[in-house]
A and B are shown apart, each in its own frame.
Chain A
Amino acid sequence: MYFHVYFQKIRRAGVAQLALALLLVLAALLTGGIFAAAQAAGDGAPPPASAPDRDSPPDLHGGQGVESDPLAPFNEAMFTFNRKLDDWVLHPVASGYAYIAPDPVREAVGRFLDNLDVIPRAMNNLFQCRLAQAGGEVARFGINSTLGFAGLFDPADHWFGLKEHPDDFGLTLRYYGVPTGPYLMLPFFGPSTIGDTAGLIVDGAMNPLDYLTPWYVYLSADGGWDAASALNYRSLHLNQFEEADRYAIDLYGAVQDAYLQTRVHHLKELKRGN
Chain B
Amino acid sequence: MRPRFGIYAIMRNLLRAAVVSAAFAVVAGAAAARAADDPMEVVKVVVNQALEVLRDQRGPLHDRQEKLRRIVDAHFDFTTMSRSALGYHWRDLDAGQRADFTRTFTSFIQDSYLSKIQDYSGEQVDFGRATQPDPGYAQVMAKILQPGKQSVPISYMLKQRGGQWLIYDVTVDEISIIANYRNQFNRVINRNGFASLMADLKNKQRQLAADLGTPHAHD
Contact = CB atoms under 8 A, between A and B. Distances in A.
B10 A259 contact: yes
A261 B168 CA distance: 18
Contact of B204 (A61, A168, A249, A255): A249
For this complex, into which size category does the number of interface residues on chain B fall?
A: 35 or more
B118 interface: no
A254 B13 CA distance: 11
Contacts of A41: none
A191 B6 contact: yes
Interface in B31-65: none
Contacts of A191: 6-7, 10
A266 interface: yes
Interface string A231-274: 00110111111111011111011111111011101100000000
B18 A64 contact: no
A168 B12 CA distance: 19
Interface of A: 47-48, 50-53, 55-61, 64-67, 82, 114, 117, 166, 168, 170, 189-192, 196, 199-200, 203, 226, 229-230, 233-234, 236-244, 246-250, 252-259, 261-263, 265-266
30 contacts: A53-B83, A56-B83, A56-B87, A56-B90, A57-B80, A57-B137, A59-B176, A60-B174, A61-B176, A61-B179, A64-B87, A64-B182, A65-B87, A82-B7, A191-B7, A226-B5, A229-B5, A230-B8, A233-B9, A246-B208, A247-B208, A249-B185, A249-B200, A253-B186, A254-B180, A256-B183, A257-B179, A259-B6, A261-B174, A261-B175
Pick the 8 closest A-B CB pairs, nearest first. A190-B7, A257-B183, A253-B184, A61-B179, A250-B184, A265-B174, A47-B190, A253-B187
